[in-house]
Structure 1
Amino acid sequence: MKKIQYITSCLLVLLTVTSCQDFLEEENESFAVAEEFYLTEEGYQSLLNANYAQLREIYGNEPWIYVCGTDLFAEGRDAEPTGLSRYTDLNPSSTGVAGLYDNAYKAIQTANTAIYYADLTEATDILDQQLGEVRYLRANAYFLLVQTYGGVPLVTDYFREPVLEFSRESAEDIYSFIISELEAAVNQVSSGAYQGKVNERAVNHLLAKVYLTRGYESFGSTADFTTAASYAEAAIAGQGLNLSFEELWAPGNPTYPINEETLFSVQYDPASVSTDPFNLGHQQTAYFGPYQGGSEVAGDAPYRTYTLCPTQFAIDLFTEDDERYQVTFMTEVYERYFDFYDVDDTSTLTVNHYYAPAWEATQADQDAYMAEHPEATYHQYGTYVPSANPTNDYQTIPLKKFDDPEAPFGQNTSRRDIVLSRLGETYLIAAEAYLQAGQPDVGLNFINDVRERADVDDATLAEFDIDYILDERGRELIGEYHRWFDLKRTGKLVERASAYHYLVEEGNFDGANGVLKILRPIPQSALDLNQNNDFEQNPAYQ
């Protein structure tokens, strides 16, 4: 039994690149009886929990793979990984390229283990539901992989012996597998309200997004868009966008459910990180803004890396009447940053920094503000973005929607859930799917529901196109780990990154063999360990 468990943890070395030595040091006390344990109801539940825990590895660390190198974010004082952010030296050994690949395959192998034991473990009333949840989690990992790297190895077996040779399946086959898994899962999981576990609406949302994404592929079809719209409507299930945008993001109880519009999220309740709060939290809060001081300000301001800062284009997406602007950005920073959340009446507080919006760009506007707040540093519109070459603290506008005032000061400390699927995005998926299915009038209704919640004017049919959808997704979903996939899916990555990211030029995407560097390269670490000599790198990196 010990040998089986050891192999399970170190299996698929070329895909997971994990350390078996670390595993032995951390888990040695009880793994000898793990196989018997998984045959019990309690043991299988622990295996299911391990599957959910893998989401933290996929989403809880540095978010480069999801958002950098796009139109919405660029580096401030500190540098991002240049391969992923600028594309100039993107290669199989570039920083950040292997992270998603490794963590997704760890999740897949954890899922394969749970699916294997589902046939052997003690029968319970919820076993089929648990199996559906695992299928969703495995499908989600493959969806991330196929969007990022294209065709990848399709591994569905629980290995009892190390396997070091894998073939690469086509992207078309990976999509077919994802869809088959999700369509099976949707009939297995709970149809009840979201309580932190995969439910029917979460599966429908992901199915909608998978079909939408496949529709743009060479092997996709208009029928994919129609199907995506159908699944999006099933996920919406008649629910309106009833919460204000402020209610969506106001810090509060960081455990699930965040609110009634959350369809699925990565869980980070305080109890689960209490044993090591400085390392077991996640990093989403630490990005998307300027450095605001070191440990000496702990409790007064959040930790910021100063590496993913909103671009001028991101700022300019918003108009004065858009309620999302003030919820998304911290436009007025008090002497103590967190007083924004902790003080009910902030009218008498000292303002340290003010970031003037486009609609307050005149000298008269500045004079009026400074007369009222003479102690403030006034950042004129157009000066607080990365392209203005900020080098000092507070020189870019903070993105506040992920703030966690109760978290300890540090990069890995946030305990708020990372929202993966929420109702506002489901509406936007429906809008895009109907547009691409040739029913723009229907899609327009969905995007205007999102805009109505933001208190902005309806879009018109004449302006409703894929660029308008991408702009609306930018306003609604900025920072939510979708942007690179959005641009890649719609074929707008090169156009938008080179137009709005001040460090990216169109030629940066030129790869080998006349192929653009759209897909990321298969990590060199995986290629080196794969004994299949016919396993090919993506053409742009050959």
Structure 2
Amino acid sequence: MKKIILILGIIVSTFYSCSDFIEEESLSNVPADATYKTATGFQLLVNSDYARLKGIYGGNPWLFCSGTDMYAEGRTPEPAGLSQYTLLIPSAVNVEDLYNSCYQQIQSVNKTIYYSTITEQTSNLSMLVGEARFLRANAYFLLVQTYGGVPIILDNITSPVLSFKRNTAEEVYKQIIADLEASLTTVGTGAYATTGKVNKRAVQDLLAKVYLTRGYETFAAPTDFATAANYADAAIAGQALNIAFDQLFAATATTNNDLNAETIFSVQYDKASTSTDPTKLGNNQFYYFSSYLGGSETGAPLRSYNLCPTGYALGLYEKGDKRWEATFMTEILEETVTTNGKAVTTLYFPYYSGRAANPSNVKVKHFFEPKWFTAADKAAWNTANAARKSASFVYHPWGQYSAEHTVSTDPFSSNDCYTIPVKKFDDPTATTPISTGPVSTRDIIVARLGETYLVAAEAYLKAGQPGTGLARLNEVRRRAGVANATTAQFNIDYILDERGRELLGEYHRWFDLKRTGTLVARASAYNYKIKAANFVGVDGKLKILRPIPQLALDLNQNKDFPQNPGY
């Protein structure tokens, strides 16, 4: 039996909040064992597997995004270890987040697989087990990328286990692939937008990412990149990128487009599922990637002032790229409405409501000049929008609203709205503007078709078929409305730039840099808080992997468990 740490062995099996595809059912005092042996109870167990995704993705995104080239600290501090590396130690804040939440997911799935052999046998049982295996593979994939080799736990743990061994990264990858191959043979084929469940396309997409990532490892198989390309094409299944980019994340006060035809897999939320505790049961993806926009008295969404886009990230976009205005709130609007004799001004959210209802009352409070603006463009914009400017209008020139600028000596850096907001995750519902933390009920999109094209592009390039890879990348650029990349441009750096444009704010960047071996070079080149020397650990080796959490080591009675290099 593989062993597991005490902190992971004492995992409760209570369910997290419901997803779109999870229905709560009060089981009163019915014993869990008896419940899981019924078809209805087993379905609830699978539901709990899905719900565990919220613990992995719904909280702070530090382990996905901190310490990269795309996002840097603004005025609000990030966890210093994860964002700057000099203070990155096994006991650093948030280091254990993925370790704990992924093992909670793994143990939940282990319980599901255990009960699948003794529960009521139904026609869809193998399909449900396939969905669970996908979720376990996804958790192990996050773990092995973040921490390297970790314990492989496949047993249903019912009592604390105090000792465990560390498997190699190669062994973990083999387990991931085994789970996904088993999943691929049993999961359904229904459209994700309809079922909200793991299907063959989601499994193919994850297999493509797993093989692509393993392809960079010293223990890679010679065919890994070609296999990744094949799986990516299978997931693409000939579907072109025909949804306008600004519609992929479109949202209003009442609806959103999260479950669209290009969403391959996501962590699903809805307002009904968070109604019992709306300030804790949602997610906070909307909260990051922006400056502070003002207090609740302005009606603006409360935002942090960390994980702000760097100058490099903002400079990736060229004139005509539709992703620029679809990703960023390039104009911050304000609306003044008089009710019962009192004038009330609301900031930011008139973009979603007031502009359509009362256009004459809506003014531009802030405008963020894009990189390509010339002096003539600036003059033309000011002339065309003269009547739209508010009395306190601010024009932000290019170069004066990036993450690094917010901590400069510029006297405006202490003001609100002085870093361009990322709007693609906005949740313009009643709870979001006045709350911080996990209050959003927008889905967190984990995999979507645009990224799959870029996975295929990278896989084909690494497999020695750059022409095919370039065609996949240029499909992404076609939808964005920009010119095709050329053969001369097409390399790993260009792919990382394109992933930056397409996927800004989505939870991939640290993994992208770690996978491609560019973490040190790119983070130190584009993140003002990071120097290459920051990565050098106490043993002279680089801190590429995150450290195994100190608490995991302390509680493990097997002391023959190596820490990662650099720590």
Name the TM tier (shorter chain).
over 0.9
CA shift for structure 1 position 279: 1.1
Out of 380, 399, 407, the residue aligned to residue 397 of structure 2 is 380
Partner of 2:553: 527
The question of 1:406 aligning with 2:412 is answered no
Partner of 1:496: 522
- Per-residue CA deviations over 1:356-392 (Å, capped at 9, x if unaligned) read 1112253871585174526311111101112112332
Moved more, 368-377 or 262-271: 368-377
Partner of 1:168: 166
Moved more, 259-268 or 353-362: 353-362
1:122-521 paired onto structure 2 within 5 Å? 122-194=120-192, 195-252=195-252, 258-297=259-298, 300-335=299-334, 336-342=347-353, 343-344=355-356, 348=360, 349-362=362-375, 365=378, 369=382, 371-372=386-387, 373=389, 375=391, 376-388=393-405, 389=407, 390-408=413-431, 409-411=434-436, 412-521=438-547
In 2, Cα distance between equivalents of 1:211 and 1:22: 32
In 1, Cα distance between equivalents of 2:351 and 2:209: 36
Q: Does the Cα contact within 8 Å between 2:316 and 2:500 map onto a contact in 1?
A: yes
Instruction: Check 1:436–1:254 CA distance in 2 against 1; reply closer, same or farther (3 A cut).
Output: farther
Moved more, 28-37 or 453-462: 28-37
Number of equivalences: 526
Q: Does the Cα contact within 8 Å between 1:211 and 1:228 map onto a contact in 2?
A: yes
User: Secondary structure of the equivalent of 1:62?
Assistant: coil
User: Secondary structure of the equivalent of 2:88?
Assistant: coil
TM-score (norm 1): 0.93
Q: Does the Cα contact within 8 Å between 1:254 and 1:268 map onto a contact in 2?
A: no
Instruction: Check 1:30–1:450 CA distance in 2 against 1; reply closer, same or farther (3 A cut).
Output: same
Q: Does the Cα contact within 8 Å between 1:196 and 1:256 map onto a contact in 2?
A: no
Write 1 or 2 for the structure with the bigger share of helix.
1
Equivalent pairs: percent with the same residue? 54
Instruction: Check 1:16–1:347 CA distance in 2 against 1; reply closer, same or farther (3 A cut).
Output: farther
Instruction: Check 1:473–1:31 CA distance in 2 against 1; reply closer, same or farther (3 A cut).
Output: farther
In 2, Cα distance between equivalents of 1:328 and 1:418: 15
In 1, Cα distance between equivalents of 2:26 and 2:184: 37
In 2, Cα distance between equivalents of 1:238 and 1:121: 39
Q: Which runs of 5+ in 1 are unaligned?
A: 1-10
In 2, Cα distance between equivalents of 1:416 and 1:254: 10
Q: Does the Cα contact within 8 Å between 2:317 and 2:324 map onto a contact in 1?
A: yes
In 2, Cα distance between equivalents of 1:407 and 1:245: 25
CA shift for structure 1 position 49: 0.7
In 2, Cα distance between equivalents of 1:505 and 1:107: 35
In 1, Cα distance between equivalents of 2:146 and 2:379: 45
- Per-residue CA deviations over 1:314-353 (Å, capped at 9, x if unaligned) read 0000011100000000010011311111132786421111
In 1, Cα distance between equivalents of 2:151 and 2:427: 38
In 1, Cα distance between equivalents of 2:109 and 2:300: 39
Matched letter for residue 413 of structure 1: V
Q: Does the Cα contact within 8 Å between 2:460 and 2:468 map onto a contact in 1?
A: yes
Q: Does the Cα contact within 8 Å between 1:67 and 1:482 map onto a contact in 2?
A: yes
- Per-residue CA deviations over 1:115-153 (Å, capped at 9, x if unaligned) read 000001001111100000000000000000000000000
Q: Does the Cα contact within 8 Å between 1:366 and 1:378 map onto a contact in 2?
A: no
CA shift for structure 1 position 53: 0.5
1:103-114 paired onto structure 2 within 5 Å? 103-114=101-112
In 1, Cα distance between equivalents of 2:202 and 2:13: 34
CA shift for structure 1 position 295: 2.9
In 2, Cα distance between equivalents of 1:93 and 1:29: 39
In 1, Cα distance between equivalents of 2:315 and 2:506: 18
Instruction: Check 1:254–1:175 CA distance in 2 against 1; reply closer, same or farther (3 A cut).
Output: farther
Q: Does the Cα contact within 8 Å between 2:233 and 2:456 map onto a contact in 1?
A: yes
CA shift for structure 1 position 437: 0.1
Moved more, 496-505 or 408-417: 408-417
Q: Cα RMSD over matched residues?
A: 2.2
In 2, Cα distance between equivalents of 1:121 and 1:43: 9
In 2, Cα distance between equivalents of 1:510 and 1:186: 41
In 1, Cα distance between equivalents of 2:10 and 2:519: 30
Moved more, 457-466 or 286-295: 286-295
User: Secondary structure of the equivalent of 2:447?
Assistant: strand
Q: Does the Cα contact within 8 Å between 2:5 and 2:552 map onto a contact in 1?
A: no
Partner of 1:3: none
Instruction: Check 1:259–1:346 CA distance in 2 against 1; reply closer, same or farther (3 A cut).
Output: farther
- Per-residue CA deviations over 1:284-328 (Å, capped at 9, x if unaligned) read 00111011122323xx32121111111000000001110000000
In 1, Cα distance between equivalents of 2:56 and 2:142: 10
Matched letter for residue 417 of structure 1: D
Instruction: Check 1:333–1:256 CA distance in 2 against 1; reply closer, same or farther (3 A cut).
Output: closer
TM-score (norm 2): 0.89
Matched letter for residue 481 of structure 1: Y
